[in-house]
Amino acid sequence: MVTEVFTNQLKEKVLHIFQHLHTHPEVSWKEVETTVYIASILQENGCRVQTFPDCTGVIGEIGEGKPVVAVRADIDALWQEVEGEFRANHSCGHDAHMAMVLGVLYSLKNKKLKGTVRFIFQPAEEKGTGALKMVEKGVVDDADYLYGVHLRPIQEIPHGTASPVILHGAARFIRGKITGEDSHGARPHLTANAIEVGADLVKMIHGIHLDPMVPYSAKMTAFQAGGESSNIIPGSATFSLDIRSQTNEIMEALVERIEAGAAMLAQYHGVTIELETGANVAAAVPNEEAQAKLQKAIEAVLGKENVKPPLITTGGDDFHFYTIKRPHLKATMLGLGCDLKPGLHHPNMTFNHDALMNGVQILTAAIVETLDESRE
């Protein structure tokens, strides 16, 4: 009866936190009020708290000594059009991730821990740069294990199931600029039309062929050229590229081909084409030990029959920079089934809120299991 009462109270707290965060979204590197809100909860519940003078994000910690088991939640929202208005919007589930990790704190705060539990509330995942900043701050330098969580769309797994690892692909976002000279619409021979240069760039990208056994894609996602005067041939334009690959090696090969093709087209058309990387998200580096512990936790909470195999997705997450930059770290990310639809990043994304408690219980069980086994 006591356990049931605690579970109901915990569910109410987690839902309350989720609703607050859902209705107070903030975009990358501007999560100021989100940081303050989370820091206050951490302090109220006995955590040692660390914030940073030069960036958003907050760290909480309970327990003492080794091992150090960390759990990470991303805290930023997307900027997108929702019902005709551009605004911050939690359409990627980061509000749920924060609520679940705070639920883990509530579950563990009164337990006698055999080590340290560190709660990492990381900014700017959507920019692909937040994890690198947290690594720079040293937040995982002494950590032994790191767990993350991400809601999964209904197209992957249903509510009531979970996977112990998400094998994200690499993602790179490139901003480009074509620079030439404008010309009169009646004299196309005097200039290179930036729109035609852009069209050639799209054709070149579509003509790149790499290892067909590895999923990859590259596409132009924005292009701006010309103005209100339709009798001017635009010499300059700006554009954006979204590049994806299941492996870091294919990503490097893909970018090299794009850079070489852009240089060739610039010379052919007599313009300059500049490419600048806006974000660079690495592919997952799986760890079998962390994955096994998380699988055991899923079995304990949902049952063996509801453990799903590794989720392979070309979507990216900067979570994997933690292990790439700190190879000693054993990390994995929980893929949580929650009947999420229509899909991640859809402005009207919804999911089954009952999954929040599944996530809390799985992460809590994984952390306790990791602390116990590491001290044996």
Dist. CA 119–CA 332, nearest whole Å: 15
pTM, to two decimals: 0.88
Write down the pLDDT at residue 315: 86
Write down the pLDDT at residue 116: 98
Write down the pLDDT at residue 106: 98
Write down the pLDDT at residue 376: 57
CA distances from 24 to 18, 95, 182, 265, 361 (A): 10, 9, 45, 45, 25
Write down the pLDDT at residue 1: 52
Q: What is the DSSP letter of 61?
A: E
Per-residue burial over 99-120, b if 16 or more Cβ lie within 10 Å, else e, is bbbbbbbbbbeeeebbbbbbbb
Amino acid at 201: L
- Checking DSSP bridges between strand 237-245 and strand 145-153, what pairing results, if any? unpaired
Write down the pLDDT at residue 279: 81
CA 29 to chain CA mean position, Å: 14
Dist. CA 318–CA 134, nearest whole Å: 11
Please report the DSSP string for 302-364 in residue order: H-GGGBPPPEEES---GGGHHHHHSTT-EEEEEEEEEEEBS-TT-TT-B--TTHHHHHHHHHH
* Number of residues assigned to the chain: 376
Write down the pLDDT at residue 314: 79
Amino acid at 52: F
Measured N-to-C along each axis, helices 355-375 and 288-302 cross at an angle, to the nearest 10 degrees, of: 130
Phi, psi of 245 (to 5 degrees): -155, 145
Write down the pLDDT at residue 375: 63
Amino acid at 296: K
Q: Enumerate residues 6+ apart whose C-beta is below 8 A from 162.
A: 298, 302, 306, 307, 308, 334, 335, 336, 337, 358, 362
Write down the pLDDT at residue 6: 77
Write down the pLDDT at residue 141: 98
* 103-136 confidence digits (pLDDT tens): 999 999 999 999 999 999 999 999 999 999 999 9
Kindly state the tokens that stand for 27.
Answer: 């975009």
Write down the pLDDT at residue 285: 86
Residue numbers of the chain with a pLDDT score lower than 50: none
